[in-house]
Structures are given as C-alpha cells and as structure tokens.
Amino acid sequence: MGAKGEETRGRLVQATRALIEERGYYGTGLNDVLAASGAPRGSMYFHFPAGKDEMVALALTEAGQDIGALIEGAAEGDAGPAEVVRRLLDALGDRMAESDWAKGCPIATVALETAAGHEDLRRVCADAYETWQLALARMLVRHGRDRAAADAAAGAVLALVEGALLLARVSHSRVPLDRAARAAELLLAPGAA
C-alpha cells in the first residue's frame, strides 16, 4: 500500500476512534466516519473489508496502546506509585477537559456496549485492560511489592481510574479524579497490602 493509502487508512481509524469515544459503538455510523475522515466510501471498504467492527477493533487497539504508553511514561523515573497514578489521572483529566468532557476512557464506552454481543471487540477491550493492569503491576513490583500484591493493587487501581473517569465525565468535573488520586495514595502507601 502506498503512502496515500496509508494516510487514508489512518484518517479512517482516527475518525472512528474519535467518534466511538464520544458517541459509542452504536452511536457511530459508517457515514459519520466517512464524513469525519473525508475519505471516499470505496476506500473504507478497501481498507476494512470486514466492515465497521474491523475499523473499531483497530481504533480500540491504537487507543489502548496510547493509554498503555501514557501509563509507562508516567511510571518513568523515580516517582512513587501514587504519584504515577496521579500523573495518569491528571493526563486523562486534561484530555477530558480539553474535549469539553466529550471524551473519557477510549475503551470503556465501547466495552460497555459490546461486551455481550461482539466477541472480537470484547477481546480487544479485555486485552487493553490487561495490558494496562500489567503495566501498573510491573511498576508496583519495581517499587517493592511482591507479584501477587502488585497484581491485586494494580487491578484495584485500574478499577479506581476507570470509575473516576466515568464519574468525571458524567459530572463534568475533575473532583472524582482528585478523589481517586487520594484513594490511590492510601491504597499504594508503603506498607499497604
């Protein structure tokens, strides 16, 4: 595929990603993706012969990788685990506020809609969450937690972050993110289980 084809494919994925995050899976139609991307209809079918689910799966995969990189980036350096979670929540909060609260977690909206009826998309969402949890657990192990405690704490932190994002988006407020950061401090304090 040439550079123009890659560019068109990328526009389709980025449009899909933005739309599903704001409107969800069912609120995003193919015509919406075409309008937002500026791509011709034939290009969509050329690049994504399996249709909408193929585009959504790729958009979710890329979004999951971006958040995974955000977690890894926040964990770089000597910052303690609670500070890493604070940085992550701040970055996600900035992203939400910049979108006027239209964007939340790039995975959660689709995960909630499709988990029961679209196995391929459910798996993509599950893989993203697993990757994020593993990144958090690795960070906790580097800070002295044993593997089992790190896994448990990482799962709790991930649930805390996802819940805070939902509450922040619904309330159009950073307060739930600040509360989640404080709860993470308590959960991840040295000596906590």
In this structure, what CATH number is given to the domain that contains residue 138? 1.10.357.10
- d(CA 8, CA 44) in angstroms, rounded, equals 9
Residue 73 lies in a domain: yes
Residue 34 lies in a domain: no
Domain of 103, in residue numbers: 53-188
Residue 154 lies in a domain: yes
pLDDT per residue as tens digits for the range 33-61: 999 999 998 999 999 999 899 999 999 99
Residue 170 lies in a domain: yes
Residue 35 lies in a domain: no
Predicted TM-score (pTM) of this structure: 0.90
Residue 9 lies in a domain: no
Write out residues in the chain with pLDDT < 50, as ranges. none
